[in-house]
A and B are shown apart, each in its own frame.
Chain A
Amino acid sequence: MRRLGSGARHLDCSVTGVYLRLEGITKSFPGILANSNIHLEVGRGEILALLGENGAGKSTLMKVLYGFYRPDAGTISIDGRPVVLDSPSDAIRAGIGMVFQSFMLIPAFSVAENIALALPRLGVWLDSGQIRERLRDLASRYGLAADADAKVWQLSGGEQQRVEILKLLVSGARILILDEPTSVLAPHEVDGLFTVLRTLRDDGYTIVFITHKLREVMAIADRITVLRKGSVVGTVPRDGTSEEDLAEMLVGLRDVRATSFSRAAQASEARTVLSVDDVSVRGERGRAGLSHVSLHVDAGEIGGVAGVTGNGQSELGEVVLGRLSPDHGHVYLEDVDVTRWSTAKILAHGVGVIPEDPLRMGVAPGLTVTENMVLNERRRFMPGAGLYADWRAIRRAIEARIENFGLAIPRLTLPVGTLSGGNVQRLLLLREIGRRPKLLVAFYPTRGLDIAATRMAHDLLVAARNAGAAILVVSEDLDELFALCDRLVVFSRGTVVGTFKSGDVDAVEVGLRMTGGGKREAWSPSPA
């Protein structure tokens, strides 16, 4: 195996027919250089993967390319011609399309309407016949089927993503930017997405793909560019590299030891902390709802909920947190019936939560990191009547906590809305685990985290478990569930279709149960 040094270097892999070229792109925000003199080239019919730790500057660079930010310096050229991109509409006109980390669809509109909005020249009248025809055409060419009349809120994450991609294609984009597209997909949906992307590539599309998963990089990319702290560390062809090499390029000389946590043995007669007893919720607006779901999580245990997103997991979370009152059944916290409790009371009772959509559900983006860190411990940090909040003292306490946990968040005084996607996730993990909750409900706990942070988050979760917390992890990522959980509950269509002790079951079995019963799948890995 070829050893790679870790200094900045350029592997010259000459691209035949560079289509998109970024030269010397520099972009700074107050107090940080997010992109520093970045060079990037992608050919026609090529997939470039962009790798980098949380906050390395990947999303920023792509937003520059999409005309969202104006770079401080540098030029962009397409097909040899320099282009000036002052706004996303300039970018769309230049044939650049982007799918963001969080989707930009209008939930109340139908698929066709959302796609119509992306058309460069939207007339007064919608020619829905024409849109439909385009959709049919794209569906058969790339295996991207979508129901034109479905409302977007009815769609699963994977389906929404497909609409986003259709939007780009319909609007005539030739360069597709996908920012962490796989973070909202179940593993089998990832395969389907990759099939589509390969077909697009073979059709001459230029694709830039951001991910934290090295396995995905090796599966889909033609070349890989690695960013570190805003600069390009190197660009390598997929065929000349390995996951180990990439990992080293990502983090530099830093030690990437696998901190294997030790799992304390579970107490034999552990208290049950959360008990969901025969709960049913009517599935509103075409969603799965819950039907006669029972499960429990003990102190010192990590329970996992495996299932394709949209099969009742979010309803389960809503019921446990008192945001949805079940039509039938009860929820108990340490033997207390909390079914009709308010969210505030449940949270105060020692329940922590990492929500499904952190930016929308878990933080106030306009408030600072410090302010967001105390969101669920308001009374602790602003005690008594709450008439004096000593923000300096609060910040010191938060700094101490962050240091204690070892999961870094840069710059506590900045609004959370300016953090990178992974850093928002770190904030939530630190905030909720830091409260030392009796019960932690964690949706996709490592979504958007880089490799090192994922490992660290797993360590934190297991440490919390060892300290006696009951943890319920909801995830689509079976690797993660198998690594973390003591026990696994499989969800499909709002019911529990299997309960397993870890070790008693393999991924194939769970995968089958998850998708069993012909659940509609967003990315069927069908041929083009």
Chain B
Amino acid sequence: MVALARVIDSRVLVQLRLLGMAGLAFVVVGAFLVLFGKNPLLAYAEIFRGALGTSYGASEVIVRAIPLMLCAVATALPARMGLVNVGPEGQLHAGALAVTWGALTFGALPRPVFLPALVALGLLGGAIGAFVPALLRVKVGVNETISTLLLNYVIVLLVEHMVRGPWKDPMSFNWPYTPEFPDAARLSTYWGTRIHAGLWFALAAILLFYFTLRFTRWGYELRVIGDNPEAAGRAGIPIGRYTLLAMSIGGALAGLAGMAEICAIQGRLRPGISTGFGYTGFLVSWLALHHPLGIVVMAILLGVLSVGGDSIQISLGLPYATVNIITSLIFFIVLGSRFRRRATA
């Protein structure tokens, strides 16, 4: 009985402590808002009202949670074997590049062939974007944290180049974007909102992530590597192969997010298809400690903050950066406490 109480105790306590620490971020930012003569309570109320108070707001939360979930899994999968993939942003854009190439090249295909082909291209593009740093790590020992981070800039700039140069829509009056994709290349949206079929991809990715880790030999071996690479190597688990695989699959999912963004939301490739979904997804993964259910919860939470950030901008004249600051403070506090516990435990 006592023992049982203790088990529950410790689990609940950890969660409560995390929440409490997240609350701390709101207090700190609140103090600053007061300093600048704004009422923090009003601001926070507006964030949540804007995000959850209307059906439009709520649907937008889902719309933003979709790429966040995919990018979070892109970070979480390699993270479970001890790799730090900071590159979902770049991998998302790599997927978008591949998809755009397909959409512009095979414009006349029927939808049932066209869409799956674009999905495959999105996966492939993202996978290549992550395979390169993975290969660099395995072959020459380049740290993947740095290489994925740097590749983000390269790939995003490549997108800029393509939409201003080779792929620019001739009818665009010099705006930097590609021609609009044919209808057959568009993902369905539902319920008169912008919620789109990417939601199924995201949920499937989360489920698959959970199932693979827990119930397959692959997931098992991946977890062993993450827990003790030395023992994994001695047990004959091919760490290099897993590095390539986990990074590529992660990258593929981020690429899928890119596909969904351009085929559902934008309808074409242009700069700014992602408002930092890759980076925020990375954050979601770490906040969720790379656990599937936590990723869903955190993606929605950050979706709320993001939609709410828009609405405080509009109705209170506060900068959007306010929610960025809240998010990063939560991040620092949660991670900081993780490392502190590591150090003492």
A and B held together in a complex: yes
- For A170, list chain B residues within 8 Å (CB): none
Contact indicator B3/A361 (Cβ below 8 Å): no
Can you name the residue of chain A whose Cβ is closest to the Cβ of B235? A375
Contact indicator B234/A343 (Cβ below 8 Å): yes
Known: A30-B6, A367-B224. A360 touches B231 (CB 8 A): yes
> Closest approach, in angstroms, between the C-beta of A477 and any C-beta of chain B?
23
* A378 interfacial contact with B, CB 8 Å: yes
Mostly, the B contact residues are: helix
| Distance in angstroms between the alpha carbons of A348 and B236 in the assembled complex | 9
| Distance in angstroms between the alpha carbons of A405 and B64 in the assembled complex | 55
Question: B184-237: which residues lie under 8 A (CB-CB) from chain A?
Answer: 214-218, 220-221, 223-224, 227-228, 230-237
Kindly name the residue among A30, A343, A347, A348 whose own CB sees the greatest number of chain B CB atoms within 10 A.
Answer: A30
* A252 interfacial contact with B, CB 8 Å: no
Kindly name the residue among B2, B3, B7 whose own CB sees the greatest number of chain A CB atoms within 10 A.
Answer: B3
- For B344, list chain A residues within 8 Å (CB): 87
- For B238, list chain A residues within 8 Å (CB): 344
Kindly name the residue among A31, A32, A364 whose own CB sees the greatest number of chain B CB atoms within 10 A.
Answer: A364
| Distance in angstroms between the alpha carbons of A347 and B221 in the assembled complex | 15
* A389 interfacial contact with B, CB 8 Å: yes
Pick from A31, A323, A379, A389: contact of B215, CB below 8 A.
A389
| Distance in angstroms between the alpha carbons of A390 and B46 in the assembled complex | 48
* A473 interfacial contact with B, CB 8 Å: no
Known: A371-B220, A376-B235. A366 touches B6 (CB 8 A): no
Contact indicator A347/B227 (Cβ below 8 Å): no
- For A347, list chain B residues within 8 Å (CB): 235-236
* A321 interfacial contact with B, CB 8 Å: yes
B interface footprint on A361-390 (CB within 8 Å = 1, 0 otherwise): 111111100010011101100100011110
B: number of interface residues (CB 8 Å): 26
| Distance in angstroms between the alpha carbons of A351 and B177 in the assembled complex | 61
* A28 interfacial contact with B, CB 8 Å: yes
- For B227, list chain A residues within 8 Å (CB): 364-367
- For A266, list chain B residues within 8 Å (CB): none
Question: B155-205: which residues lie under 8 A (CB-CB) from chain A?
Answer: none
Known: A30-B6, A87-B344, A347-B236. A361 touches B230 (CB 8 A): yes
* A140 interfacial contact with B, CB 8 Å: no
Contact indicator B217/A362 (Cβ below 8 Å): no
Pick from B6, B216, B233: contact of A343, CB below 8 A.
B233
Can you name the residue of chain A whose Cβ is closest to the Cβ of B2? A28
> Closest approach, in angstroms, between the C-beta of B102 and any C-beta of chain A?
30
Known: A30-B6, A364-B228, A367-B227. A378 touches B234 (CB 8 A): no
Contact indicator B231/A363 (Cβ below 8 Å): yes
* B15 interfacial contact with A, CB 8 Å: no
- For B220, list chain A residues within 8 Å (CB): 371, 374, 378, 382, 389
- For B224, list chain A residues within 8 Å (CB): 364, 367, 371, 375
- For A526, list chain B residues within 8 Å (CB): none
| Distance in angstroms between the alpha carbons of A389 and B3 in the assembled complex | 30
* B105 interfacial contact with A, CB 8 Å: no
Contact indicator A362/B216 (Cβ below 8 Å): no
* A303 interfacial contact with B, CB 8 Å: no
> Closest approach, in angstroms, between the C-beta of A38 and any C-beta of chain B?
18
| Distance in angstroms between the alpha carbons of A347 and B238 in the assembled complex | 13
| Distance in angstroms between the alpha carbons of A28 and B3 in the assembled complex | 8
| Distance in angstroms between the alpha carbons of A374 and B224 in the assembled complex | 11
* A355 interfacial contact with B, CB 8 Å: yes
Contact indicator B7/A362 (Cβ below 8 Å): no
Contact indicator A344/B7 (Cβ below 8 Å): no
Q: How many A-B residue pairs have CB under 8 A?
A: 85
| Distance in angstroms between the alpha carbons of A406 and B214 in the assembled complex | 29
Contact indicator B3/A386 (Cβ below 8 Å): no
* A342 interfacial contact with B, CB 8 Å: yes
* B315 interfacial contact with A, CB 8 Å: no
| Distance in angstroms between the alpha carbons of A31 and B8 in the assembled complex | 11
Contact indicator B6/A28 (Cβ below 8 Å): yes
- For B235, list chain A residues within 8 Å (CB): 343, 347, 375-376, 378
- For A353, list chain B residues within 8 Å (CB): 234
A interface footprint on B228-254 (CB within 8 Å = 1, 0 otherwise): 101111111110000000000000000
| Distance in angstroms between the alpha carbons of A111 and B3 in the assembled complex | 43
> Closest approach, in angstroms, between the C-beta of A196 and any C-beta of chain B?
31
Question: B132-156: which residues lie under 8 A (CB-CB) from chain A?
Answer: none
| Distance in angstroms between the alpha carbons of A229 and B237 in the assembled complex | 37
- For B6, list chain A residues within 8 Å (CB): 28, 30-31
Contact indicator A375/B231 (Cβ below 8 Å): yes
Can you name the residue of chain A whose Cβ is closest to the Cβ of B237? A344
- For B236, list chain A residues within 8 Å (CB): 342-348, 376
> Closest approach, in angstroms, between the C-beta of B206 and any C-beta of chain A?
18
- For A386, list chain B residues within 8 Å (CB): 216-218
Question: A373-429: which residues lie under 8 A (CB-CB) from chain B?
Answer: 374-376, 378-379, 382, 386-389, 391
- For B218, list chain A residues within 8 Å (CB): 386
Contact indicator B217/A378 (Cβ below 8 Å): yes
> Closest approach, in angstroms, between the C-beta of A63 and any C-beta of chain B?
11
Contact indicator B216/A365 (Cβ below 8 Å): no
Contact indicator B223/A367 (Cβ below 8 Å): yes
Contact indicator A388/B215 (Cβ below 8 Å): yes
| Distance in angstroms between the alpha carbons of A388 and B230 in the assembled complex | 25
Can you name the residue of chain A whose Cβ is closest to the Cβ of B9? A30
| Distance in angstroms between the alpha carbons of A371 and B344 in the assembled complex | 26
Contact indicator B231/A382 (Cβ below 8 Å): no
- For A355, list chain B residues within 8 Å (CB): 234
Can you name the residue of chain A whose Cβ is closest to the Cβ of B234? A361
A interface footprint on B1-21 (CB within 8 Å = 1, 0 otherwise): 011001100100000000000
Contact indicator A362/B215 (Cβ below 8 Å): no
Kindly name the residue among A28, A362, A375, A382 whose own CB sees the greatest number of chain B CB atoms within 10 A.
Answer: A375
| Distance in angstroms between the alpha carbons of A378 and B235 in the assembled complex | 10
> Closest approach, in angstroms, between the C-beta of A68 and any C-beta of chain B?
9
- For A31, list chain B residues within 8 Å (CB): 3, 6-7
Contact indicator A360/B217 (Cβ below 8 Å): no
Pick from A28, A365, A387: contact of B228, CB below 8 A.
A365
> Closest approach, in angstroms, between the C-beta of A55 and any C-beta of chain B?
16
| Distance in angstroms between the alpha carbons of A14 and B248 in the assembled complex | 68
Excluding A347-B235, A360-B230, A379-B217, 5 further A-B contacts by CB distance (< 8 Å) are A321-B234, A363-B228, A367-B224, A371-B224, A387-B217
Closest 6 pairs between A and B when the two form their complex, measured CB to CB: A386-B217, A344-B236, A364-B227, A382-B217, A366-B227, A343-B236
**Can you list 30 A-B pairs with a CB-CB distance of less than 8 A?**
A30-B6, A30-B7, A31-B7, A87-B344, A323-B234, A342-B236, A343-B233, A344-B236, A344-B238, A347-B236, A348-B236, A360-B228, A360-B230, A362-B234, A363-B228, A364-B227, A365-B227, A366-B227, A366-B228, A367-B223, A367-B227, A382-B216, A382-B217, A382-B220, A386-B216, A386-B217, A387-B216, A388-B216, A389-B220, A391-B214
